[in-house]
């Protein structure tokens, strides 16, 4: 049988199992190896077994993870008010005010109540310096907008 005097493996595998893994069935097989080579053979075969196993198991896992990462990294065609608020780290009402004021371009598809914002418009809005707004102008703009909506509706 194999001798374990050289170096004990970190796990407590029995000697017969190590010999079986190494393909050695008798002491005569072991005697053909020099002292340090016993574990080298074991390490090499173990590495090969582990490599073969990982080659079978890892590719589907990696494909799934990459697919998930690519889906998350893919930019959306249009962003919602909530998406813009998350990105800009502000309240959704702030985004809606910017849309109403005309500083952030947005559109509503027919039959939809949701604003959609192009990512490029968001980038321009976030990069633009904040305008100085006169409260009187803001009130006048809101009155004008309300009157226009009333005339349409």
Q: What is the CA radius of gyration of the chain?
A: 35
Q: Are 144 and 100 in contact (CB under 8 A)?
A: no
Highest average pLDDT, of 10-24, 62-76, 103-117, 121-135, comes from: 103-117
Domain boundaries along the sequence of the chain: 15-73, 81-152
pLDDT tens per residue across span 54-67 = 888 888 888 888 87
pTM, full prediction: 0.39
pLDDT tens per residue across span 30-50 = 555 555 566 676 677 788 888
Q: Are 122 and 137 in contact (CB under 8 A)?
A: no
Q: Are 81 and 96 in contact (CB under 8 A)?
A: yes
């Amino acid at each position: 049988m194999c001798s374990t005097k050289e170096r004990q493996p970190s796990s407590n595998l029995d000697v017969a199992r190590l010999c079986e893994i190494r393909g050695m069935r008798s002491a005569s097989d072991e005697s053909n190896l020099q002292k340090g080579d016993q574990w080298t053979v074991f390490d090499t075969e173990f590495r090969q077994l582990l490599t073969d196993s990982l080659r079978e198991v890892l590719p589907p896992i990696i494909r799934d993870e990459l697919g998930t990462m690519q889906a998350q990294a893919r930019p959306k065609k249009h962003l919602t008010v909530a998406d813009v608020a998350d990105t800009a780290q502000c309240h959704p009402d702030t985004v809606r005010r910017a849309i109403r004021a005309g500083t952030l371009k947005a559109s509503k598809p027919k039959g939809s109540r949701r604003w959609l914002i192009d990512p490029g418009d968001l980038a321009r809005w976030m990069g633009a310096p904040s305008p100085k707004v006169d409260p009187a102008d803001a009130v006048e703009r809101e009155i004008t907008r309300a009157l226009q909506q009333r005339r349409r509706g």
